[in-house]
Chains A and B, each alone.
Chain A
Amino acid sequence: MSDKKTTGVAPAAPAAPAAAARPSCLRGTGVTKVFGFGETRTVAVDHVDFDFHEGEIISIVGESGSGKTTISKMLLGLISVTEGQIDFQGKPRDISSHKKKNEYWKGIQAIFQDPFSSFNMFNKIDAVLLDCINMRGGKNLPKEEKVRLMTEACSFVNLKYAELTNKYPFELSGGQMQRLMIARIFLLKPKILLADEPTSMIDACSRATILDMLLKLRDEINMTIIFITHDIGLAYYISDSVYIMEHGKFVESGGADEVILTPKADYTKRLISDVPKIYEEWDLSTV
């Protein structure tokens, strides 16, 4: 299993230190989200606790409707938390004003599931990347420097800036768009990246490239990546620790090897048995 989490491009990362040695960057206690009231009251996320450490890749695995997207939106601060507390880098998170939110969003960014709807189709690609440079305080940089930064970001995701400039997002393929999203993250360099099923809408070849790039982000910038997926095989491939989510609760959590190779909860076992058995070595149901 030692070679499963290294990038194809970058040299293999040094063995991850023990989780306990890394500082916590996002911790939640009793985090709850309730939608509606009265008869329509729905508890989407029900008193969950978590502790994500710096430089780790954490997977949140669950079926559709288990509350994955709700928890990701709460982590991003896009929706409010009904109950409970989220600590960001050891301090209680404060997103009470627009300014404080902006400050928080310098530390946490996201890649979404559908690359086709992630871009404003009326803005050119340059505008998207320039926006990131501005957000990092590079508004007054000379034009050449901005172009250099954008070129660097594009080459990080194996895209050519010269070919993309003056194009609209819809002129690219789904895989290219998702890579551009990663280029955006590369420019922003947030502490935490929340990737909400970033590979589920793109083809298998691009999928491996995207995963490689996420690993590269972790290895090169020491980014914490929260990887949200319904695919436990993918989670096993990429993550250091795994949280299994069912009906708004974490039913099992721990190191990826520990959770997936020795599952305790019935739900985890079922998820593992649902992985398609195309290759023998991927047949996780036998372990």
Chain B
Amino acid sequence: MLNTIKQVFRSPRFLIGFIIFALMLLTVIFYPLFVKADPLAMVGNGNFFKPGTYVNVSETVTANRYTLNVDVSGAAKLDRQLNESDRSKMADWLIRFGGVDEAEIDTSDSVALVELWKNNYSPDADQPGLISTDKKSFERLDKRIDEILSSSGIIIATEEEDGTLTESETIDETSYVNINDLATTQTFVLGTDNFGRDVLTELVAATTTSLRIGLIAGLIATAIGLILGLIAGYLGGLVDDIITFITNLFTVIPSFVILILISYSVGQSARGVGLVAMIIGFTSWTWTTRSVRSQVISLRNRDHVNLSKLSGHSMFRIIFTDILPYIASYVVMALILQISSGILAEAQLSMLGLGPATTKTATLGLMMNWAMQYSAHLNGSWWAYFPVILTIALISFSLNLMNTGLDQVFNPQLRD
């Protein structure tokens, strides 16, 4: 036994798969111990905030200020604040209406570009072919450039009793705050989703739920498959014929269609995480039954089984001591594959909107479904769906890798 375990861990495939899976499992176990926030709390007031650290603006005003003598005026500032599209917009206007030759314009040199702009741009110039919205956008751009050039700090005003504003202080260009001084910063490593929830926390919670679904579904499917396979294979005859008939019936009807029909028919309100897991389990046992049955058939005529019969052992004892140990490794491998396919089945169902109908828990499939419904893939919010895809792929990959590793150890034909 110990030797077998050693052998299993010597298989590089199993080891890699095991490490990936163990890391995910550890994350899922330990992350909630450190981050106690409700994974489905709606933190953001809006859709899809991008990943990063969010700083409270009012706190930055009152926070301790440091004056840093770094170049914030002139070229560097222009470079930073005029982005690519601003510059190409400026160049476009200058060529079309400012009479500037294209060769004179270098969009990478912001100082020269702004100089050209100031010399040639006029809001009153004749701009044929431009609608007023476009004209206004150029005016706004011009105003912004003026602000950048004339920057003299931001004035903070306080409102007097009679309604007049009095200048209380000016925030200079050279004023900085230290991010460590700020008490209220919020880091969203993976941004927020369509409901303004922290994607990372949600992802960890969803992975936990999905693994649980996979485990329940896998255990149910393997248990049914194992029991039916053992009975059919060992007893043979009419019992075998009936079980094989039922199994074939379930095999020819695509299980995913049954899955969809059952999920749909149990109704939106009844479809919790546990029920979805059970539905997946009850529709995916067929191949385990078939393979266990064929393994048992080849075992039941083995001499050691005959000898056990001759020793007067009961059917249950023969099944448990003379047949099960021989197919145990195979059953473990089948279970691993069933867990993996259970997780995938949940994701597929949820993508179709037939997954667990719940707002209390997240699953990997539901996260995908939400991201898809709010067009995360169209508006470039990759953080709402890509980490989910990656997690599903990693779970499936690691489980399959472990399975291949086990197969290599237990199947002598594949041994190196």
Binding site for B on A (CB under 8 A): 73, 76, 78, 98, 101-102, 105, 109-110, 112-114, 117-123, 131-132, 135
Q: Which B residues from 316 to 333 make CB contacts under 8 A with A?
A: 321-322, 325-326
For the complex, give the distance between the alpha carbons of A238 and B308 in Å.
Answer: 28
For the complex, give the distance between the alpha carbons of A109 and B304 in Å.
Answer: 13
Q: Which residues of B contact A102 (CB under 8 A)?
A: 312
State which size class the interface on B falls in.
10 to 19
Asked if residues B311 and A135 are in contact (CB atoms below 8 Å), the reply is yes
Option from A76, A113, A117, A132 in Cβ contact (under 8 Å) with B304: A117
Q: Which residues of B contact A117 (CB under 8 A)?
A: 302-304
A to B CB contacts below 8 Å, 8 in the list:
A73-B306, A109-B310, A112-B306, A113-B303, A117-B304, A118-B303, A120-B321, A131-B311
Option from A76, A113, A119 in Cβ contact (under 8 Å) with B310: A76
B314 at the interface (CB under 8 A from A): yes
Binding site for A on B (CB under 8 A): 302-304, 306-312, 314, 321-322, 325-326
Asked if residues B308 and A120 are in contact (CB atoms below 8 Å), the reply is yes
Asked if residues B312 and A135 are in contact (CB atoms below 8 Å), the reply is yes
For the complex, give the distance between the alpha carbons of A189 and B155 in Å.
Answer: 109
Option from A78, A113, A114 in Cβ contact (under 8 Å) with B309: A78
**Chain B residue at smallest Cβ distance from A99:** B312
Asked if residues A110 and B309 are in contact (CB atoms below 8 Å), the reply is no
| Given contact pairs A112-B303, A113-B303, A120 touches B310 in the complex (Cβ within 8 A) | no
For the complex, give the distance between the alpha carbons of A120 and B302 in Å.
Answer: 10
Q: Which residues of B contact A114 (CB under 8 A)?
A: 303
Option from B310, B314, B321 in Cβ contact (under 8 Å) with A98: B314
Nearest 7 CB-CB pairings of A with B: A112-B303, A102-B312, A118-B303, A122-B325, A120-B304, A117-B303, A105-B310
For the complex, give the distance between the alpha carbons of A76 and B310 in Å.
Answer: 8
For the complex, give the distance between the alpha carbons of A123 and B324 in Å.
Answer: 13
**Chain B residue at smallest Cβ distance from A103:** B312
Q: Which residues of A contact B303 (CB under 8 A)?
A: 112-114, 117-118
Asked if residues B312 and A110 are in contact (CB atoms below 8 Å), the reply is no
Asked if residues B304 and A110 are in contact (CB atoms below 8 Å), the reply is no
Residue among B306, B312, B314, B321 facing the most chain A CB atoms (10 A cut-off): B312
For the complex, give the distance between the alpha carbons of A135 and B317 in Å.
Answer: 15
Asked if residues A118 and B309 are in contact (CB atoms below 8 Å), the reply is no
* Chain B: minimal CB distance from A111 (Å): 9
Q: Which residues of B contact A120 (CB under 8 A)?
A: 304, 308, 321-322, 325
